[in-house]
Amino acid sequence: MRRTAIALAASAAAVSLAACGAFDGSSGGSGSATPKKGDDIQVGLLLPEKENPRYDNFDYPIIQKQVQSLTHGKGKVVYANAEADAAKQSQQLDQMIQDKVDVLLVDAVDSKAIAPDVQKAKDAGIPVIAYDRLAQGPIDAYISFDNELVGQVQGRALVEKLNDSTGSSKIVMMNGSPTDPNAAQFKEGALSELSGKVNIVAKYDTKDWKPENAKANMLEAIKAVGANNIAGVYSANDGMAGAVIEALKESGVTKLPPVTGQDASLDAVQRIVTGEQYMSVYKSYPQEATNAAEMAVAKVQGRSIEFDALTRDSVDSPTEKKIPSMLVPVVALTQKNIKDTVVQDNIFTIQQICTAAYRTACAEIRLK
Ligand code: BGC
């Protein structure tokens, strides 16, 4: 509840900031800051993969809508998805440089491998904003969630659910892709809560975040530990949580152990309703995507006061120090707060969650 309150307060702050930005923008025309460009701008958007529905269903459409609304319908978003292929993303970025987009929002498949392309964009005079994952190289700004907090929220939820004072509960840890710096932060945050309180008997870094890889790893863990000896699974996101649950069921587990996740994807919310998945982490896509669009447009239009107001945090990457940033807070999502989070933020309607197959389970937790 406390975290919901924090998220909601932050959401209100973001709205007033946006309102203030809009005000700055309209008064800026009379000469406060010299706009570099007008409304006719192109924002290049590079997203990393398609297996997780967030990118195509939320990040892209929200950014597109916000760019349009900030530019009186004249600005465009050029979107490319790398489908978890770092070489493909490098080509996509180079193409956008050739096409002379005005600014780039980059969610890197491989944060290190993308650095030379970020440098090329800089040499071509195109600002780069790292989106969600901290790309290396000379970026102008970064926007993401508080990723260490994501891991802490997951780890804490699992420990509380297990309620084991001996610390002997056997846990499998399914982490994300080693090329994604977020995965390392989720892991670090989670370990700060799990260490000493549970017994981590198997852990994996999951190539490309792919559910099929997570499933293979989980089957291996089940073989080594024994299907009914696993007290809980830390899964870094919902896609992998779904695969972990499949592996457990296929191995004959009828009473599923608590499994964590992240992203509040629709199938995960439905699994939370039935109790198959214990929790997810709700990260407000509207807050991240809307503010990213604001940053990109403010940067291109030379509205530095608004840009600075949007990037009051500061982070370091392995190649840059003091990157102007915005880190958006997150909240644990369990059966108790589905309505106060994803439904309230219009991510999903109750009808979308409580389809025929979930109607009884929804009624049981009074989700209506
Ligand atoms: C994102 C997560 C997502 C994962 C896989 C991370 O960088 O922050 O929301 O589940 O990538 O795409």
d(CA 310, CA 49): 26
CB 48 within 8 A of CB 109: yes
pLDDT at 2: 36
Nearest atom (ligand 1) to Cα of 51: 12
CB 239 within 8 A of CB 80: no
Ligand 1 pocket, 132 CB below 6 A? Answer: yes
What tokens does 94 get?
A: 């180079």
Ligand 1 pocket, 133 CB below 6 A? Answer: yes
Ligand 1 pocket, 320 CB below 6 A? Answer: no
Q: What residues of the chain score a pLDDT lower than 50? A: 1-34
Name residue 342's amino acid: V
In a 10 Å sphere around its CB, with 0-12 CB exposed, 13-18 middle and 19+ buried, how is residue 232 labelled? Answer: buried
Angle in degrees, 0-180, between the axes of helices 115-123 and 86-98, rounded to the nearest 10: 0
In a 10 Å sphere around its CB, with 0-12 CB exposed, 13-18 middle and 19+ buried, how is residue 82 labelled? Answer: buried
Mean of the per-residue pLDDT values of the chain? 92
pLDDT at 5: 36
Cβ neighbours, 10 Å, residue 31: 8
Q: What separation in Å is there between the alpha carbon of 279 and the centre of ligand 1?
A: 16
The per-residue pLDDT for range 289-344, each reduced to its tens digit, is 999 999 999 999 999 999 999 999 999 999 999 999 999 999 999 999 999 999 99
pLDDT at 348: 97
pTM, two decimal places: 0.90
Ligand 1 pocket, 238 CB below 6 A? Answer: no
DSSP string, 314-363: EE--SS-SSEEEEEE-EEEE-GGGTIIIIITTTSS-HHHHS-GGGHHHHH
CA torsion, ordered 263, 265, 267, 270, to nearest 10 deg: 80
The residue whose CA is least distant from atom 9 of ligand 1 is 263
The residue whose CA is least distant from atom 6 of ligand 1 is 182
What tokens does 12 get?
A: 């209100």
Per DSSP bridges, beta strands 128-131 and 141-145 are parallel
CB 156 within 8 A of CB 193: yes
C-alpha neighbours within 13 Å on the C-beta side of residue 15: 8
d(CA 140, CA 149): 24
Q: What separation in Å is there between the alpha carbon of 352 and the centre of ligand 1?
A: 23
d(CA 115, CA 119): 6
pLDDT at 205: 98
